[in-house]
Chain A
Amino acid sequence: MRVNVKLFARLRELVGTGDLTLDAPEGATVRDVWQALVQRHPAAAVYERSMSCAVNLDYARMTTPVSEGDEVAFLPPVSGGSDAELR
C-alpha cells in the first residue's frame, strides 16, 4: 500500500522534500513508514529519538497502524510561540 508522508522544517530540508509517497506492507505501523523513509533518505535518522508523528491530523505513536492513502507526518521538536530556547 501507499501512504503520503509529510515532513517539516529541518527534517524536510534534510530529505529534500516535504511531500513524498512511500510503500508500506499491509498491516504496517508508523514505525514501518519511518524505516522506509530512513532507508531511502538516511539523513532523516538523526530525528529518530526527538521527532513526534501524526496520522491523518491526529498525534500518533510509532506503533499506530496505518492504512492505504493515510497522511503520515513526522515532526521535529516544535518551536512555535516566541522566545523558544535553542537546546
Chain B
Amino acid sequence: MPPVAVITSTPLTVEAAIHAVEGPGSGAVATFLGLVRDHNLGRRVLWLDYEAYAPLAEKALELIVQEAQARWPGARMAIHHRTGRLDIGEASVIIAVATPHRADAFAACRYAIERIKQIVPIWKHEHFDGGEVWIEGATADANDEAAREAALKIACA
C-alpha cells in the first residue's frame, strides 16, 4: 500500500495520490490540488517556502484520514503535502478521496482541506515583491471539537 499521509520536499503528482486510494469498492475519486498563487492581499508573490514539523504533521494527516473514514464509511483518503521552496503554479497539497458514491468523495475532500488548515503543523513563508512574511492561520489543537465540527459543517454544506 502506498503511504496515505506524506510530507515531502519532492514535487507532488495527482497520480501518486490517486494510486494510494485505489480499490475495487470505489465508485468515485475526488481530488483537490492547492496551488501557489501569484498574488496575495495585493502583494505580488514570487515564491513560497513551506516549513513542516514533519513527524507531527504526518501524524496529523493520518488523524484527518481516520476522521474521514469514520465519518464516510468506505472512504479511502490520501493527503500529500509539499515542503521547501515552491514556485508559482506548483502544488503545495494534493488530496485524493475514493468512496463508493460521489457525494461522499466531494464532502470528504472538502473536509480534509479544512482540517489541514486547522491542525497540521506546516507554515507558509511568503516571499513577495518587496519583502517576506510568515502567514499564520489557526492555533493548532487536534482536540478542539468545535473546530472539527466547523470543518464538518463546511464539508456538508
Contacts and interface: CB of A to CB of B under 8 A. Distances in A.
Interface of A: 6, 8-10, 13, 50-52, 54, 57, 59, 73, 75-87
A59 B143 contact: yes
A78 B117 contact: yes
Interface residues of B, number: 39
Q: Is the interface of B mostly helix, strand, loop or mixed?
A: mixed
A82 B140 contact: no
Interface of B: 34-37, 40-41, 50-53, 55-57, 59, 81, 92-93, 113, 116-125, 133-143
Chain B CB count within 10 A is highest, among A54, A79, A86, for A79
Q: Is the interface of A mostly helix, strand, loop or mixed?
A: loop
A9 B93 contact: no
A8 B135 CA distance: 13
Contact of A85 (B118, B137, B140): B137
A77 B34 contact: no
Contacts of B116: 80-81
